[in-house]
Chain A
Amino acid sequence: MSFTDADLIARVLSGEDHQAFGELVRRYQSPMRAFLTRMTRGDSHLANDLAQETFLKAWQKLRTYRGGARFSTWLFGIAYNEFRMASRRRKELALEDMAEPPPEPAGPAAVSRSQLRLDLAEALKVLNADERAAVILCNQNGLSHEEAAQVLDCPLGTVKTNILRGKEKLKRRLSAAYDDHESA
């Protein structure tokens, strides 16, 4: 028998049920860790630490979850806050635009679908944190623009702008491989 998120949350709140919370962690560990890995530009060690902090915060703040948004949206919000705090600590936000851009993608002759995915992962690193977060949340995790605005704590228009800008940058970055893939 599988419980809904709401059932599990109710069980956690009624008796501090670690097993119910464990089930919530198992359900959402993958999207949270994937999101944070991309936000940290592939630093899976830091991403795992931030994901663990995210779930610990969720445990502490679970009583404040009102159920108005999906539980995953609420978790993404905590995860993004953890990322921002870590960025501030490491001063990565200030250094972001000065970061070494990833190498150019391989030429059309070498492009396969797996290569294209690798190139896309590299290209995502070119985006700034706001653009990257908006693109990942909406285009990879299936959040609506409104949900992404809630997670990122910014106006809806800003999310849409960041997605447009981010995708334009990705297209420019991938243009050679992208055109070849389209024609294949």
Chain B
Amino acid sequence: MNPPETNDPLDALLRTQDDYIEDDGFTARVLAALPRRRTWVRPMLLLGVTIIAAMLTAWWLPWQNLSPFGQSALLLLNSPVLLPWVVIAAVVSLLVGAMAALQWDD
């Protein structure tokens, strides 16, 4: 709803003041000042988390019980010592991945 039209000459005079201002590079300056996407943030976070999770897993692995060719990967995952750490590493990866995604939206 627009203001009611009146015959008031002052209203007519005020409307004539609405001149167009040429862009004159203004839009380009605004676009140049917009924050850039931080394309490196998410991949670097995910890479860091993966490395940390891998190091933790390797640290806690019962290497002494493993012979080079004696046990399969399935047996490894059935180990009661290893399994909780695998779960923790997966949860941490998921949490940090979610945080990275949220930061991406900002």
Contact = CB atoms under 8 A, between A and B. Distances in A.
A147 B27 CA distance: 26
Nearest to B11: A139
B75 interface: no
Nearest to A19: B31
B11 A182 contact: no
A56 B13 contact: no
A141 B2 CA distance: 10
Interface residues of A, number: 40
Interface string B21-35: 111001101110111
Interface residue SS majority, chain A: helix
A56 B14 contact: no
Contact of A25 (B13, B21, B31): B31
Interface string A7-30: 000000000101001100110011
A142 B16 contact: no
A120 B14 contact: yes
A29 B26 contact: yes
B33 A52 contact: yes
Nearest to B20: A30
Identify the 8 closest CB pairs spanning chains A and B, nearest first: A139-B14, A144-B1, A30-B21, A25-B27, A55-B30, A138-B3, A140-B18, A33-B21
Contacts of A16: 37
Interface residue SS majority, chain B: loop
A33 B13 contact: no
A30 B17 CA distance: 13
B10 interface: yes
A178 interface: yes
Nearest to A168: B10
Nearest to B1: A144
Contact of A51 (B16, B17, B20, B26): B26
Given A30-B21, A140-B14, A178-B9, A59 B26 contact: no
Contacts of A30: 20-23
A117 to B, nearest CB: 6
Interface in A143-179: 143-146, 167, 170-171, 174, 178
B10 A25 contact: no
A124 B11 CA distance: 13
8 contacts: A52-B29, A52-B30, A59-B35, A117-B13, A138-B3, A139-B3, A139-B11, A174-B10
